[in-house]
Structure 1
Amino acid sequence: MTPAVEVLDPRVDPEPRYWADLRRRAGLRADWAWEVLAVQAWCARTPQYVTVLHGEGAPRGVVSSAWVGSRTRRHRFVSSERGGSWGGLDVRAPGTSSLPGWWFAGAAGGGCRELLTDYVPAMRETLGRGLRCLLLRQVPSSGLSAVDGRFRLVRETESIAVLRTDTFGDRQDWMNTLTRKRRQNLRKIFRTVEEDETLDVRVTPGTAMDPAEVAELIRHNEVKHRDVPIVPLPQFVGYLERLLRQPDVFVLSYADRDSGRLLAIATILDDPEWPVMRTWSALPVEAGGRPNLYFHFYGESVRWSVETGKRGVILGKKMSETKRTLGAELVPQYAAAVPLW
């Protein structure tokens, strides 16, 4: 009989028999594939937990979190131990900061109340009284009333950029909604890129890409974003190898047609309605890259979304104002620190 709550460690626990069905029901993208979670957990600084809460005959909730304790260090990798004597849980999505790291069937307020009433007791039972706090990321506005309260710290974080495309018939329809100055700039960029016969631009399944080449290119982008207290670890080749071979991962790539050298990429976590543009990175111009591919990428994102019948694309964080001028809606997100007595 399946227990009411399962606290799983992807490093050592096999993929649950219900996992594929749970991913479909919850809309969990490719970064939640079990083999992807497993290699990410082995490459992490701290233990990574996947907690599944069961209801009548099927899972009713799932939460991804990382244990953060006194022994967490920038250059330390996870040990074989579970948790530690004292610390907290950082509840976050396993592969993208654009989405929450939890799902509860039919829950109001984004499922934030269930995190406190159902998830916390289960983790206290597993990790003991050393579990002293909870950090929730990507809390939606609708969940604020559930996480706010005395001794709790709630702060607005970077907004998530969301671009709806199901009202457009093609890329030109989208451009018609932008300001005149932005349209003129984009037309020039699109014309320059699309008339460049040495440039190959395409959207392909992730399996068509070389994980080592993708990892090398992504690190150019990671170098630019070192604005957090603990710098994120680089994208390991082993992780990308497993992520790219998932059937719901696509890559928008820019390559030199003559040499085949990869110049820029955007990885796409596909979804029937709202795919996530997970990672953008480009070779610097001074290292042989091409200018303005970042803006061309937005046009290609819209084109691909319209042609594949999506409702829109999730463009993530960073460059929020630029994304707003490109027609994206900035959806407020919050983080909540909840002490556990």
Structure 2
Amino acid sequence: MSARRGDGHEVLDPRFDPEPVYWTALRKRAGLRADWSWDVLAVQAWCARTPQYVTVLHEGGEQTGVVACAWVGTPTRRHRFAGSARGGRIGGLDVRSPNSSAVPGWWFAGAGPDGGCRELLDRYLPLMRSRLGPGLRVLLARQLGEAGVSEVDGRFRLVRRTEDVGRIDLDGFSSEDDWTSTLRKKRRQSLHKIAATIAADPAVEVRVGALAGADPVEAAALMRYNSDKHRDVPIVPLPQFGGYLERLFGQPDVLGVRYLDGSTGRLLALGLIFDHPQWPVLRSWSALPGHLGGRRDLYFDVYREFVSWGIRSGKDGLILGKKMAELKRTLGAQLVPQYAAAIPVR
């Protein structure tokens, strides 16, 4: 489905289409995180249940928009991978970020306060309709902000609030203590105690930084413990694969908070970070269960490490993702509403 046509726009399938020559520059301009790296997109697409499309809109010789989506049609089964075909006859588009449920799966140059929701309907949807034909019946857009709801609401459209996203604004913090001083006394004391316990324990080593040397197979096995806890949707996400993580870990804008066994080097827990000039995302967290040698309270400590790193790195703020919303509030996070919209295509 590649090919730039008369309108100049491209609908790309990373399984088959090579990386566009402008991709690195576009990623930087649009602030797209590591999961948008083309080689990462390609591996993910081959590991997915359904075809994954990346649409690039062009205007005046420049790229003015990019949207990631999955084609969801029949048959879609839990243990099925995408075939070699480029799509199905009847289905819909699930517009979402390639590998994060905390940020939108699109970017438009000069987007207004609605975050590009109007562009999504006025520019992207007609293009996909023309490329995919009458079999395209619905558009599901996730990670909509409150300002974009009015743009997508309407007759026969279903708009629902989903889980809030936790965000910590780091403005005014010059140290970890500045941040903890804003928390409730009980939470502040708890974080200090956990940090002191970990620092004094020779059996636990903490590393914050690049993951280029990490073992992707070990990380994939670890991450499945967390994915098994969240089978709360009809078709759960596929687990992370070693090949995907190998490509992801090789990206310079992927970091991790790793907790290792001080004696064996075994990975006890991992917080995966997608870096960004202003707002990095804590993409995922997983830890060994206690009965398999895991340590207590690392889940709380990873947020302390993330905030400390963000302050040292001069970030504007941090995106903590979904789940455990009230706990994140106790860490000083603002809970930002997000919405999803199902839009029939006529």
TM-score between the two structures when normalised by the length of structure 2: 0.97
Q: Is 2:266 the partner of 1:261?
A: yes
The amino acid of 2:265's aligned partner reads G
How does 1:104-123 map onto structure 2 within 5 Å? Answer: 104-108=108-112, 109-123=114-128
DSSP 3-state at the match of 2:186: helix
8 A Cα contact 1:254 1:265, kept in partner: yes
The amino acid of 1:49's aligned partner reads Y
Q: Is 2:24 the partner of 1:51?
A: no
Q: Is 2:79 the partner of 1:75?
A: yes
DSSP 3-state at the match of 1:128: helix
Tell me how many residue pairs correspond in the alignment: 341
Partners of 2:331 and 2:126 in 1: CA distance: 44
DSSP 3-state at the match of 2:343: strand
Partners of 2:65 and 2:323 in 1: CA distance: 29
Q: CA deviation at 1:138?
A: 0.2
1:285 to 290, 312, 325: 290
Partners of 2:320 and 2:269 in 1: CA distance: 16
Q: CA deviation at 1:12?
A: 0.2
Q: CA deviation at 1:2?
A: 5.6
Q: CA deviation at 1:204?
A: 2.3
1:196 to 171, 183, 201: 201
Q: Is 2:144 the partner of 1:142?
A: no
8 A Cα contact 1:166 1:309, kept in partner: no
How does 1:66-105 map onto structure 2 within 5 Å? Answer: 66-105=70-109
Partners of 1:31 and 1:158 in 2: CA distance: 21
Unaligned 5+ runs, structure 1: none
DSSP 3-state at the match of 2:41: helix
8 A Cα contact 1:133 1:337, kept in partner: yes
Q: CA deviation at 1:166?
A: 3.1
Partners of 1:200 and 1:185 in 2: CA distance: 20
Residue of structure 2 equivalent to 1:238: 243
Q: CA deviation at 1:217?
A: 0.8
Q: Is 2:332 the partner of 1:311?
A: no
Partners of 2:48 and 2:172 in 1: CA distance: 41
How does 1:17-36 map onto structure 2 within 5 Å? Answer: 17-36=21-40
Partners of 1:292 and 1:315 in 2: CA distance: 17
The amino acid of 1:176's aligned partner reads S
Q: After superposition, what is the alpha-carbon deviation per residue over 1:253-288, rounded to whole angstroms, capped at 9, x for unaligned?
A: 000111111101111111111111111111111110
Q: CA deviation at 1:80?
A: 1.1
Q: After superposition, what is the alpha-carbon deviation per residue over 1:217-256, rounded to whole angstroms, capped at 9, x for unaligned?
A: 1111111111111011000000000000001111110001
The amino acid of 2:296's aligned partner reads P
8 A Cα contact 1:100 1:137, kept in partner: yes
Q: Is 2:214 the partner of 1:213?
A: no
Partners of 1:258 and 1:22 in 2: CA distance: 44
Partners of 2:253 and 2:276 in 1: CA distance: 7
**Larger displacement relative to structure 2 (158-167 or 29-38):** 158-167
The amino acid of 1:163's aligned partner reads I
Question: What's the C-alpha RMSD, in Å, of the aligned pairs?
Answer: 1.1
The list of structure 1 runs, each at least 4 consecutive aligned residues, that deviate by more than 6 angstroms after superposition, is: none
Q: After superposition, what is the alpha-carbon deviation per residue over 1:148-167, rounded to whole angstroms, capped at 9, x for unaligned?
A: 00000000000110011232
Q: After superposition, what is the alpha-carbon deviation per residue over 1:94-148, rounded to whole angstroms, capped at 9, x for unaligned?
A: 0110110001000111111111111111111111100010000001111111100
2:14 to 10, 21, 25: 10
Q: CA deviation at 1:84?
A: 1.1
DSSP 3-state at the match of 1:224: coil
Unaligned 5+ runs, structure 2: none
**Larger displacement relative to structure 2 (85-94 or 162-171):** 162-171
Q: CA deviation at 1:185?
A: 1.6
Q: After superposition, what is the alpha-carbon deviation per residue over 1:46-79, rounded to whole angstroms, capped at 9, x for unaligned?
A: 0100000001121000000001112111111101
8 A Cα contact 1:41 1:48, kept in partner: yes
Q: Is 2:207 the partner of 1:177?
A: no
The amino acid of 1:200's aligned partner reads E
Partners of 2:86 and 2:133 in 1: CA distance: 11
1:129 to 110, 125, 134: 134
DSSP 3-state at the match of 2:234: coil
